[in-house]
Each structure stands twice: as C-alpha cells, then as structure tokens.
Amino acid sequence: MVILTLNCGSSSAKYQVYDWTNKDVLAVGVVERIGLEYSTIEHKATGKEEYNAKFSSPTHKEAIELIIKMLIDKEYGVIEDLSQIGAVGHRVLHGGEIFVKSALVDDEVIKELKELIPLGPLHMPANIMGIEAARKVMPNVPHAIVMDTAWHQTMPEEAYMYAVPYSWYTDFNVRRYGFHGTSHLYCAKRAAVLLGKENKDTNVIICHIGNGASVCAVKNGVCIDTSMGLTPLEGLVMGSRSGDLDPAILPFIMNKTGMTPTEMDTALNKKSGLVGICGKSDRRDVQAAALEGDEKAQIAIQMECHRIKKYIGSYAALLGRVDAVVFTAGVGEMGDHIRKGSMVGLDNLGIKLDVEKNDKCHCRNGEFDISADDSPSRIFVIPTDEELVITEDAYALMEGTYDIHTNFHYSFEDASYVNKARARGLVENLKKQPSLKSILVTPPTK
C-alpha cells in the first residue's frame, strides 16, 4: 500500500508517493504553471530516469489526472494501479479555530474549509481546488487534510491575541494562527530524539527559513508562540514578504501614492522582503551579489539575520531554558551565512555557534550539530519532512488511530528511525565531503 501526499498551490501541485509497507519514498514530483498557456511536470521515481514534459492543464483536475497517469506509467511509474493507493493526504494552509488537528475529508469538511477562505485568500482556494479535483479522480480513497496552523493551537491566549478591538476577534477571527506547522512539529520531535529527552521535557526554538520563514518557540513539547500571525506575512524578513513593520506605514503610503488595499497587500507579500531591498529573493543570488560588493544585497542579509536573532532572543526569554535551536527548510539547511549571521553573539544566552562546524554544513540528507562543544544549548540543522507528517496523519486517520500530536506517536520519534532516501543520499554526500561526518549527530544511547 502507498500513501499519496498532495500540496496544491495557486498554479502548482507538488506530490510524493510513500511505500507504507517498506517505509520508503517511491516518487516525488511537481506540476507547475497550472492554468497558463502550458504546464510542466517534473517526475522523479526512485531508481528511474527523471521525466520532464510540457502539457495542457487548465485546472488542477488535469494536473492530478496526469500525476496519477505518471504513477501507473509502465516506464516511469511506481505502482501497478490505483488500488494500491490507500489514502491521500492534502496540505492545507489554514484551519482557523475549526481544525485543531488533521481530519478526514467529507462534503461538510469542504464546506467548512471554504468558510475559512477569507483567512487565507491567496492559498485556500487552490488548496480546496486540489482536494476537490483529487476526490473526483480518486473517489473511493480516503482523503485527509493536514493544516499548517494546527500545531500552533497550543499557544496561550496572551500569545495568540492581538491588542486590537476585541470584537475583531469575535466577529472576524483576527488572531495569531501561525504556519509551517507540519515542519515545526517534525523538527520539534526530532530535536527531542537527538537530545535524548521526552517531548514533554524539551524546550526548543525552531527557525524554518525558506522563501517563507517563521520561528517557533516550543516549551515542554508544544508551541507557545510563533512569528507568523493571522497570515504568513508577519514575522521574519522573507524572500518577498515584509515581515514585521509599523502598521502606520500602510495608511501613510496609501495616502501618499493612492494605492488600493489590494495593491498594498500585493506589495507587502510579493514586492517586499529581500526583493524589496535588493531585487532578489533567492539567498544564493543575494549572497553572490553581496560578495561582489552590492550594498543593497549586503544590508538585505544583515536585516534578515538581525530579525532572526531578535526572535531567538525573545523566545529564549519566554522559554527560560533553551535545549536547542534548530535550523530547517531550504535556507536553514543550506545557508551557512544566514545561520552564522543569526547566531554569532548569542553566547550570553548560552547559545554558542562553532563557526567552523557551521561552514561545513551544506547537506540536506543528515542531521547535524553545529554548536560549540561547551555550548549549554545545542544548535541543530535538521532537514524537515513535512510530507512524512502528512503521510502518517493520513494513514492513521484511515486506520482510526489518529489523535492530536501530544497523544500520538510518529515513527520519527523513535531513536532507530531512518529516512531511507536520505540515508542513500548521505552516503554519496560523504564521499564528496568526508568532513560532514564530524558534525553528524545521532540520538544518544540509553
């Protein structure tokens, strides 16, 4: 039996096929440019040649139909027929206060998701379209939704409420929700394993740094605060999002320029952050420009690191004791300059980076410790695995064994857990970069 995970964006559909019996990834891929003049698919099946093609995909339905076709293709496929798909897990941006944990999909759930569209107008319609399209293509398979916001539902009221008229909360659901929940869940539980501690005894700060970025404070194994808010716009300096700013800037600029609310929303989400400062969002491009003397790129990097460091410091104050700081996601896992800029100077908090270890750490197939030997708090780089969280939630929902994460046990919480695909990749990484072995971290033996 296999579990299919789908992550549908406004013009894309990412997917993964997981062999539940052998606990291994069979295929990953993405369909992009849905709804445009032509769409593309990139399909990678383990042990097979990569497949790339252009095709017509006016809606998500055609995209998902092609994904299914690829999965059963004689040359590039990984299953014989659809009967081998036991469940489909869907990533959903926003669960509001309705969905505090993952759930099986039925018509009523779809109706409730549509009611949440105002909380996530840029992402929710695409998420819902993907679910509806997949249900049409695979009507006899259980479908599960896994919300980005669910992990953060343990935040106390003083953390999730905003100091605005209380009626905004009661009438319009304005509050902090937080995002990247599946990533924060995975990394929090993996950090506990690497520390040799129980989740309930673990305090960590997780920095999920990608094009979108957020920080999460985890106390006694649950989220108590996070940097993103009602939407994914709040918090860190991101690829194209502003993050925190004085809200008075919005009416000031709108009055000066005549910008509409929609235009301002676009500017803050798509024309700000690193793009707004230096014209580039990919950290590799920003770093290359900075090394060539581009002053705007240099200040953009300094701004991003400054904001991350501020959040780490404030969350250290909330936690009292920090067992570990975790970096994850594309930039967190590969951007040594961002990690260094964010961590150097935190010695007084008991968080001491080993710069030499950090400089070695460029690998997405292993878990690494880049802290100084005498650092009271560890600094881990942990590759996230949101797809595995979705896969395990979908399977458990199908079997009737699922529960909220504090009452549920994931496979990756075991010290013996191995991601087989990453283990294969790590062997190749170590051949090219043997020094990685010195910073690899494994769970302590009990």
Q: Are residues 130 and 201 located together in one domain of the fold?
A: no
User: Is 404 a member of any domain?
Assistant: no
Q: Are residues 131 and 211 located together in one domain of the fold?
A: no
Q: What are phi and psi of 435, to 5 degrees?
A: -65, -15
Work out how many domains the chain is built from and give that number. 2
Compute the average pLDDT of residues 177-191: 97
User: Is 158 a member of any domain?
Assistant: no
The residues, ordered by sequence, that sit 6+ positions from 364 with a Cβ below 8 Å of its Cβ are 333, 334, 383, 422, 425
Q: Could you tell me the CA-to-CA distances from 80 to 75, 216, 301 in Å, in that order?
A: 11, 41, 48
Q: What are phi and psi of 360, to 5 degrees?
A: -80, -20
Task: Residue 181: name the closest of 417, 431, 404, 444 by CA.
Answer: 404
Last residue of a domain, one of 383, 405, 421: 383
CB 101 within 8 A of CB 154: no
Q: Which residue has the higher pLDDT, 118 or 207?
A: 207
Mean pLDDT lowest for which of 3-17, 303-317, 344-358? 3-17
User: Is 26 a member of any domain?
Assistant: yes
User: Is 66 a member of any domain?
Assistant: yes
The residues, ordered by sequence, that sit 6+ positions from 197 with a Cβ below 8 Å of its Cβ are 323
Q: Are residues 207 and 143 located together in one domain of the fold?
A: no
Q: Are residues 220 and 298 located together in one domain of the fold?
A: yes
Query: What are 55's strand-pairing partners?
Result: 39
Q: Are residues 217 and 355 located together in one domain of the fold?
A: yes
CB 340 within 8 A of CB 361: no
Confidence at residue 12, expressed as pLDDT on a 0 to 100 scale: 81
Measured between alpha carbons, how far is 398 from 418 in angstroms, rounded to an integer?
Answer: 24
Q: Are residues 125 and 262 located together in one domain of the fold?
A: no
User: Is 332 a member of any domain?
Assistant: yes
Measured between alpha carbons, how far is 22 from 420 in angstroms, rounded to an integer?
Answer: 10
Instruction: For the full predicted model, state whether its pTM sits above 0.85.
Output: yes
Binned at pLDDT 50, 70 and 90, residue 177 comes out as: very high
Compute the average pLDDT of residues 345-356: 96
Binned at pLDDT 50, 70 and 90, residue 32 comes out as: confident
Read off the pLDDT of residues 362-401 as tens digits, 9 standing for 90 and up. Answer: 999 999 999 999 999 999 999 999 999 999 999 999 999 9
Q: Are residues 117 and 229 located together in one domain of the fold?
A: no
Please calculate the CA angle 319-325-330 and round it to the nearest 5 degrees.
135
Q: Are residues 379 and 231 located together in one domain of the fold?
A: yes
Longest dimension (CA), the chain: 64
User: Is 266 a member of any domain?
Assistant: yes
Confidence at residue 52, expressed as pLDDT on a 0 to 100 scale: 92
Binned at pLDDT 50, 70 and 90, residue 38 comes out as: confident
Q: Which residue has the higher pLDDT, 35 or 75?
A: 75
What mean pLDDT, rounded, does the chain reach?
Answer: 94
Q: Are residues 300 and 360 located together in one domain of the fold?
A: yes
Confidence at residue 446, expressed as pLDDT on a 0 to 100 scale: 61
Last residue of a domain, one of 147, 179, 206: 147
What are the structure tokens assigned to 375, written together?
């650092």
User: Quick count: other Cβ atoms within 10 Å of Cβ 199?
Assistant: 18
Is residue 231's pLDDT more than 90? yes
User: Is 327 a member of any domain?
Assistant: yes
Q: Are residues 137 and 229 located together in one domain of the fold?
A: no
Report the catalytic residues.
148
Is residue 163's pLDDT more than 90? yes
The residues, ordered by sequence, that sit 6+ positions from 427 with a Cβ below 8 Å of its Cβ are none
User: Is 300 a member of any domain?
Assistant: yes
Measured between alpha carbons, how far is 172 from 174 in angstroms, rounded to an integer?
Answer: 6
297 lies in which domain range?
A: 197-383
Q: Are residues 14 and 138 located together in one domain of the fold?
A: yes
Residue 13, CB-side half-sphere exposure with 13 Å CA sphere: 32
Q: Are residues 88 and 230 located together in one domain of the fold?
A: no
Is residue 81's pLDDT more than 90? no
Is residue 311's pLDDT more than 80? yes
Measured between alpha carbons, how far is 444 from 446 in angstroms, rounded to an integer?
Answer: 6
Is residue 19's pLDDT more than 70? yes
Last residue of a domain, one of 147, 164, 180: 147
Compute the average pLDDT of residues 160-174: 97
Identify the CATH number of the domain in which residue 117 sits: 3.30.420.40
Angle between helices 107-115 and 124-137 (to 10 degrees): 170
